[in-house]
Chains A and B, each alone.
Chain A
Amino acid sequence: MCNLLEVKQLFFSYGHGDVVNNVSLTLGAGRILSLLGPNGCGKTTLVKMVLGLLKPRAGQILASGRDLTRVNHRERARHFSYVPQLHHANVAFPVLEMVLMGRIAYQGCFRRYRAEDLVAAENALRQMHLLDLADRSFAELSGGQRQMVLIARSLAQQSPVCIMDEPENGLDFGNQVKLFRLLRELSSTGMSFVVTTHHPEHALWTDGEVVMLNSNGTVLTAGKAGQCITQENLFKLYDADVAVAEVSGQRCCLPLLSAVPSPA
């Protein structure tokens, strides 16, 4: 079976030097892949290339074995859905309408939504326990609620891969925990996620895989989150002393704030 997403030796440049530098990765069904790295390491650039919002300088992106340069917007949207960072979406559409937009990939923009689209949207809202909000304006929702609505839109889009750009951004701690529990639940049903994050801890929460990106856009290491996220690798990535400990079977990161910085 082909991987849902396969990135091969990808390069990207905004004009002066490569931001994404020879990155390769694979994603299978039901997996959660975290992209981890310091500011400017090209996490967002990488997911934007997968989504077709940016064009790679060199390299290949395959979706279930198909080269993405030969896929139109609609087919791409049936394979990848996108949950963007929070702060952009200040639009006053009703929540149901927002979720229905996940169905554009099937209906196009000329036709009205059909009964099956409404069913898909309502099912997605029900799965996210958001049916009560269906008629509320998206602009009036809290950050956490908006994030849930956007995930519901992804579900309605019925794409096997959901790409999330810093989903924890703007969520309080409780909502962050809820979010990652939800991702694990959904991944157990076969959906896959690519998640960019600033928190190594969150990559551990997913119990999935991780790709750690250096600030020059190269891959430091990739593999199981539990194996890659070590004190040594975190130091290389962030230039910070962070111990990785295990508490009741769950690995967690512990910044060593009072320790003397070790020589670089």
Chain B
Amino acid sequence: MNRKKILILIAIFILLGLLAAGSLLLGRYSAPLSEQFRALSGLPSVKLDNDHRELLEQLLFHMRLPRIAAAILIGFALAMAGASFQSMFRNPLVSPDLLGVMAGAAFGVILGVIVGAGTLLIQMLSFGCGLAAVGLTLLIAGIYRRGDHLLILVLSGIICGALFGSLGFLISYSADPEQLGASLEYWLDGGLGMATGPKLLSAIPLFILGFGGMLVCSKALNVLSLGEEAATLGINPFYWRLAAIASATLVSSLTVTLAGMIAWIGLISPHFARLLLGADNRLLLPASGLIGAFVLLLADDCTRSLYSSAVPTSLSISVIGIPIFMILLCQSKKGGFHV
């Protein structure tokens, strides 16, 4: 690991910090910038009366701050999980959403809401169903052994995602509409508006477990990304793959419990990171995470300021993300995997 690459990593981190600070001040409610700073740092207001001051504090600490924290956490998680999946399967076209993990997790969440489960049980259900989904994807891909294994894996992921998406709809029809209300579409579309402070805090220990798991696997992921020969270099590919899949699935499923299915971040961010820093997973995983956090936060800022905070964030990610992805594909010849 050379110094230049670590500097790039730090630079991304600083950019993310700046964007986060900027995002806090961004929104439809307008108050003078100086007043916003004062409210944030706890200084008394100069120009605002008490009511307005209270409103501003409410807005900053209970709406914008949790939403920004959610964007960073979710973007980080999805991108890091995407990078892990891409290295592990030696496939630049996979991500938590394309492998069906997100749809599986969403099914788990809907199931949890219907049976009236608590937060922890919902998290576990979504993790369990996410694992089941990626397991099914691998099973389907494993049946068809000939031909282009890269595309077969993606295809079975899409099939599996569609299956779990439909199952989610089916069980929601059999449920009391009051229970799910309008939120069903939200789970399937993905939006950061749902992520409240307490929900975020309850998920953080498991997030840390998943991030730690992936980072522990990062050196093994380098070996796994060589393919079959990994086993001949002295690691047991089965156990390492299992550990990496479990960690990546855990964090991906947690994002679904917070904000529904957010697509594309997990696919495009690792490509950015690989172009900047190369294929070494010990750097690639944290770098992908930071870039994912940056991209999702930026997309959410656009959504919030151009439309409204009720518009699903996923929509603007797709609109912004896909052209970027096409540009990346054109330039990715030397940056990592070849399709």
A interface residues (Cβ-Cβ under 8 A, vs B):
51-53, 72-74, 76-78, 80-82, 84, 88-94, 97, 101-102, 104-106, 108-110, 137, 139-140, 157
Is residue B3 within 8 Å, beta carbon to beta carbon, of the partner chain? no
A92 in contact with B274 (CB, 8 Å): yes
Is residue B174 within 8 Å, beta carbon to beta carbon, of the partner chain? no
| A residues less than 8 Å from B30 (CB atoms) | none
| B residues less than 8 Å from A72 (CB atoms) | 236
| CB < 8 Å neighbour of B232 from A51, A88, A97 | A51
| B residues less than 8 Å from A73 (CB atoms) | 231, 234-236
Q: How far is the CB of B334 from chain A (nearest CB, A)?
A: 6
Q: How far is the CB of B3 from chain A (nearest CB, A)?
A: 13
Q: How far is the CB of B23 from chain A (nearest CB, A)?
A: 33
Besides the known contacts A73-B235, A89-B227, A140-B334, 7 further A-B residue pairs in the complex with CB atoms under 8 A apart: A53-B228, A80-B232, A91-B225, A92-B334, A101-B222, A106-B234, A108-B234
B336 in contact with A109 (CB, 8 Å): no
B279 in contact with A109 (CB, 8 Å): no
A192 to B338, CA, bound (A): 34
A–B complex contacts, Cβ < 8 Å, 28 sampled:
A51-B232, A52-B231, A52-B232, A53-B231, A53-B232, A74-B234, A76-B232, A77-B232, A82-B229, A82-B232, A88-B227, A88-B229, A90-B337, A90-B338, A91-B226, A91-B279, A92-B278, A92-B334, A93-B222, A93-B280, A94-B278, A104-B219, A105-B234, A106-B234, A108-B234, A109-B219, A110-B219, A137-B334
A84 in contact with B278 (CB, 8 Å): no
Residue from the set B216, B226, B274, B280 with the largest chain A CB neighbour count within 10 Å = B226
Q: How far is the CB of B10 from chain A (nearest CB, A)?
A: 20
Q: How far is the CB of B31 from chain A (nearest CB, A)?
A: 48
Contacts A92-B334, A93-B222, A137-B278 given: A104-B232 contact, CB under 8 Å? no
A78 in contact with B222 (CB, 8 Å): no
Q: How far is the CB of B223 from chain A (nearest CB, A)?
A: 6
A72 to B226, CA, bound (A): 20
A101 in contact with B228 (CB, 8 Å): no
| CB < 8 Å neighbour of B234 from A91, A97, A104 | A104
A91 to B337, CA, bound (A): 6
| CB < 8 Å neighbour of B233 from A77, A94, A137, A140 | A77
Is residue B335 within 8 Å, beta carbon to beta carbon, of the partner chain? yes
Is residue B13 within 8 Å, beta carbon to beta carbon, of the partner chain? no
| A residues less than 8 Å from B225 (CB atoms) | 91
Q: Within residues 310 to 328 of chain B, which ones have a CB less than 8 A from any CB in chain A?
A: none
Q: How far is the CB of A14 from chain B (nearest CB, A)?
A: 10
A107 to B235, CA, bound (A): 10
Contacts A92-B274, A93-B280, A97-B280 given: A76-B234 contact, CB under 8 Å? yes
A92 in contact with B235 (CB, 8 Å): no
Interface residues on B, range: 20 to 34
Is residue B263 within 8 Å, beta carbon to beta carbon, of the partner chain? no
A52's nearest neighbour on chain B, judged by CB, is B231
| A residues less than 8 Å from B240 (CB atoms) | 109
A139 in contact with B222 (CB, 8 Å): no
B239's nearest neighbour on chain A, judged by CB, is A73
| CB < 8 Å neighbour of B279 from A88, A92, A105 | A92
- Dominant SS at the A interface? mixed
Q: Within residues 200 to 232 of chain B, which ones have a CB less than 8 A from any CB in chain A?
A: 216-217, 219-220, 222-223, 225-229, 231-232
Contacts A93-B222, A94-B278 given: A105-B233 contact, CB under 8 Å? yes
Q: Within residues 277 to 301 of chain B, which ones have a CB less than 8 A from any CB in chain A?
A: 278-280
| A residues less than 8 Å from B223 (CB atoms) | 101, 104, 109
Q: How far is the CB of B225 from chain A (nearest CB, A)?
A: 6
A93 in contact with B279 (CB, 8 Å): yes
Contacts A93-B280, A109-B240, A110-B216 given: A139-B234 contact, CB under 8 Å? no
The 10 A-B pairs of least Cβ separation, nearest first, read A105-B234, A77-B234, A82-B232, A109-B220, A92-B279, A74-B234, A90-B338, A109-B219, A92-B336, A104-B233
A105's nearest neighbour on chain B, judged by CB, is B234
The 0/1 profile, CB within 8 Å of A marked 1, for residues 226-265 of chain B is: 1111011111100010000000000000000000000000
B220 in contact with A139 (CB, 8 Å): no
A93's nearest neighbour on chain B, judged by CB, is B279
Q: How far is the CB of A120 from chain B (nearest CB, A)?
A: 14
Q: How far is the CB of B238 from chain A (nearest CB, A)?
A: 10
| A residues less than 8 Å from B233 (CB atoms) | 77, 82, 101-102, 104-105, 157
A101 to B278, CA, bound (A): 16
Q: How far is the CB of A180 from chain B (nearest CB, A)?
A: 22
A176 to B278, CA, bound (A): 31
Q: How far is the CB of B48 from chain A (nearest CB, A)?
A: 54
| A residues less than 8 Å from B274 (CB atoms) | 92
| CB < 8 Å neighbour of A84 from B219, B228, B338 | B228
Contacts A91-B225, A109-B240 given: A139-B338 contact, CB under 8 Å? yes
Q: How far is the CB of B231 from chain A (nearest CB, A)?
A: 6
| A residues less than 8 Å from B336 (CB atoms) | 91-92, 139
Q: How far is the CB of B196 from chain A (nearest CB, A)?
A: 37
A137 to B279, CA, bound (A): 10
A75's nearest neighbour on chain B, judged by CB, is B234
